[in-house]
Amino acid sequence: MNISPILKTVLAGAFVILCWAYSPVGIHIGLEGYGPGHLALLRFVIASVFMAGVALVMKISLPRWRDLPWLLVLGFFAIALHHVSLNYGQQGVSAGVASVLAQSAPIFSTLIAFFWLKEPVSGWRWFCVGLGLFGALLVMGADRGLAGIEPRGLLILLAAFSWGLYFVLQRRYSGHYGVLTTVCYMVWSGTLLLTVYAPGLAQAVVQATWRVNIAVLVLGLFPSALAYLAWAYVLARTEVSRAAIAMYLIPPLAMLLASLVLHEPLRPEVLLGACVVLGSVLAMQWEGRWRKGRGAPAAGQISRGSAQRP
């Protein structure tokens, strides 16, 4: 049976969305048996072993010695800081809310590009940034009521900031390494940094239930490894801006999975806040496409393809 290239790309994109929508649900289950640090380390040990096998088959290139410190920096922001913050933060908010807040990374990429790289940012994008941050606060307040806002939820915004910073930094190497090579070294360097949480991990694995360990195994193999391979396949066959739009399906699907698997209620206020956050990020995306269509450069425009990642 021959499958058309377009259908293969669509199926790969759907696989990525499903994997990354599962991530907050898997984290929630994993936290039932592991601390945030142990969960992050175990997840990426599994991913690292899998990616090592892929690297051997695909024969990826070796990194340049002078790039090793920067690859560690990328691993710190994309893996270590991002996922430890995400795990700690999800102890205080629901899985559905976590998926929405994690999707705010492009907002922080814009702020980083303006304050650090001195890139110009249009008035429209500033409006989108403010609206997105307001939506994030609305989501956190609606999750458990204004009186029950959990400060740990702010750590998910730190995770989004960390991913946004990683994306700004990784552009330095976009011409030196392919997507697969970059992902492999990012995962391995981040896992190396996470080994500070190694003490007590073996005992935690033994004590965790089968349900928890299976959830973590799925986290390590699918959202942390296979989804990256599928995403690289998609990006090689379609425009980054077009592929990135599909990523807005992740929070709604994550909310649905959390409702079905974790029995989390779908609060109307949370859905409203989610629409504000995702709408502001989508508006940034469409500003870039509108300016491109008119032949004008988008002020402070940052490609959204790699910025999407729960």
Going from N- to C-terminal start, the domains of the chain cover 5-294
CA distance 265 to 258: 8
**pLDDT tens digits, the chain, 310 residues: what are they?**
567 878 888 888 899 889 998 999 999 999 999 999 999 999 999 999 999 999 999 888 888 888 888 889 989 998 999 999 999 999 888 888 888 888 777 777 677 767 766 677 677 777 877 877 777 777 766 666 554 556 777 888 888 888 878 877 776 665 677 778 888 998 999 999 999 999 999 999 999 999 999 999 999 999 989 988 888 788 777 766 566 667 778 888 888 888 899 888 877 777 787 788 777 777 776 665 555 555 544 444 443 344 445 5
Q: Which residues contact 239 (CB under 8 A, 6 or more apart)?
A: none
Question: Given the structure tokens 């492999």, which residue do they identify?
Answer: 184
| Among candidate residues 251, 244, 212, 238, the one with its CA nearest the CA of residue 99 | 251
Tokens of 145: 């009521």
- What pLDDT does 145 receive? 54
Question: Given the structure tokens 């930094």, which residue do they identify?
Answer: 169
- What pLDDT does 75 receive? 92
C-alpha dist (Å) from residue 51 to 181, 188, 225, 228, 300:
10, 8, 7, 10, 34
- What pLDDT does 53 receive? 94
Quote the pTM value. Answer: 0.82
- What pLDDT does 24 receive? 92
Amino acid at 21: A
3 state DSSP class of 93? coil
User: How far does CA 297 lie from the centroid of its chain?
Assistant: 27
CA distance 206 to 107: 40
Phi-psi region of 302 (alpha: psi -120 to 50; beta: other; left: phi over 0): beta
C-alpha dist (Å) from residue 287 to 125, 133, 207, 211:
8, 18, 51, 44
